[in-house]
Amino acid sequence: MGAMKESLISALFIIKLILPVLFVLEILKYFQLIEPLAILLSPVIELLGLPGEFSIIWIIGIFTGVYGSIVSFFYIINNPENYTIAQVSTLSALILIAHALPVEAKISQLLGIGYWKIIFFRLFLSVIFALLVKFFLDYFDLLQDSINPVTQIIEQQETSIISIFVAPVIACIKIGIVIVTLHLMIHLLKKIRVIYYMEIALKPVAYVLRIDTRLSNSLLIGIILGISYGGSLLMKDIEKLQEVSGNEKRKAIYLLNILHSLIEDTVLILLIGADIFVVLSGRILFSIFIILLIDVYYKKFLADR
């Protein structure tokens, strides 16, 4: 019962965030304003060679999280077969690095990194990661087939005054079911100790990244389960481990910002047809590379801080 209650609370929290966004999207659809708005927000999307409407999906994700992006994808995209797996995987690269920034930047601020510093850090890296994905897939001519979304959060239909109020509620009920199912699945994975063995499997990653072992357990929990889980545990570690250097703590916070919630985020982004190799392996490798660069910078220019 505890797991179900916790899952329902999580679902209600996320629904409260995305329901207003869905009402706004319905109004924009009704007045045919989505495409003009997308043009205003699309410089980065054009740089990546993606359809202009993807800019709206990313912007919504920046403010509301991965769930908001997934739901808005099905609101905005009328014909999924017109988009390739490569395009959606590139969009996913943007979303996975830069999402829910107002909330997650606040958590990072409590951990010790400036609010706007984290926002710019993640926005910049999201574009770099997406560019790398695009160049890799284009160069090797990979994933050029049309996407096949796993599910349809909302059926496309002509927008009316009534649908402005009804469609978002239906979509939220569907996404609520997805959230509860996903959280129950994670609870089951904890119960049967799969999460525990995943933490053990990721220990070498902490070693490669030269993360202080006293921070690694909380960090690995955050990587697997999310920034809220890992952030709260990491905060306790930072408070009690005064002897751990500031550079080590900052490196852990930066890693948690670009590589967290591997289970939940990966499952969600697969719903829109992204490639699992790109969204999982690519994100892990990119995050390791960035943290190693930060480690080199700290040791060369900011030693003993």
Task: Please state the length of the chain.
Answer: 305
d(CA 101, CA 168): 23
Tell whether the model's pLDDT for residue 213 goes beyond 90.
no
End-to-end CA distance of the chain: 47
For residue 135, what pLDDT band results from cuts at 50, 70 and 90? Answer: very high
Name which of 232, 50, 252 is nearest 137 in CA terms: 50
φ, ψ of residue 80 in degrees (nearest 5): -55, -30
Q: What pLDDT, in 10s, does the model give residues 116-127?
A: 999 999 999 999
Check residue 84 and report its DSSP letter.
B
Query: Among 80-94, 155-169, 226-240, where is mean pLDDT lowest?
Result: 155-169
Which of 96 and 27 is assigned the larger pLDDT? 96
d(CA 166, CA 180): 21
Longest dimension (CA), the chain: 62
Check residue 146 and report its DSSP letter.
B
Helix (H, G, I), strand (E, B) or coil at 51: coil
Residue 175 has a CB neighbour count (10 Å cut-off) of: 25
Give me the percent of the chain exceeding a pLDDT of 70: 86
Site of tokens 């590139």: 90
Residue 146 pairs in a beta bridge with 84
Q: What single string gives the DSSP state of each residue in 199-248?
A: HHHHHHHHHHTT--HHHHHHHHHHHHH-HHHHHHHHHHHHHH-TTS-HHH
Name which of 28, 26, 58 is nearest 42 in CA terms: 58
d(CA 283, CA 102): 21
Mean pLDDT over all residues of the chain?
A: 82
- CB 41, CB 56: distance < 8 Å: yes
d(CA 172, CA 265): 18
For residue 111, what pLDDT band results from cuts at 50, 70 and 90? Answer: confident
Tell whether the model's pLDDT for residue 159 goes beyond 60.
no
Q: What pLDDT, in 10s, does the model give residues 214-244?
A: 777 778 878 887 886 667 777 777 777 777 7
d(CA 24, CA 31): 11
d(CA 246, CA 111): 11
Query: Among 13-27, 109-123, 259-273, 284-298, where is mean pLDDT lowest?
Result: 13-27
Tell whether the model's pLDDT for residue 158 goes beyond 70.
no
- Flag whether the pTM goes above 0.85: no
d(CA 19, CA 33): 19
- CB 176, CB 11: distance < 8 Å: yes
Q: In whole angstroms, how large is the CA radius of gyration of the chain?
A: 20
Residue 84 pairs in a beta bridge with 146
H-run or E-run covering 299: helix 283-301
φ, ψ of residue 146 in degrees (nearest 5): -70, 150
Q: What pLDDT, in 10s, does the model give residues 169-200?
A: 777 777 777 777 877 777 787 788 877 777 77
Averaged pLDDT, 140-149:
90
Averaged pLDDT, 247-253:
86
Tell whether the model's pLDDT for residue 284 goes beyond 80.
yes
Averaged pLDDT, 263-288:
92
Averaged pLDDT, 289-300:
89
Tell whether the model's pLDDT for residue 34 goes beyond 70.
no
- CB 29, CB 160: distance < 8 Å: no
Say what the pLDDT of residue 145 is. Answer: 93
Say what the pLDDT of residue 128 is. Answer: 97
Say what the pLDDT of residue 40 is. Answer: 64
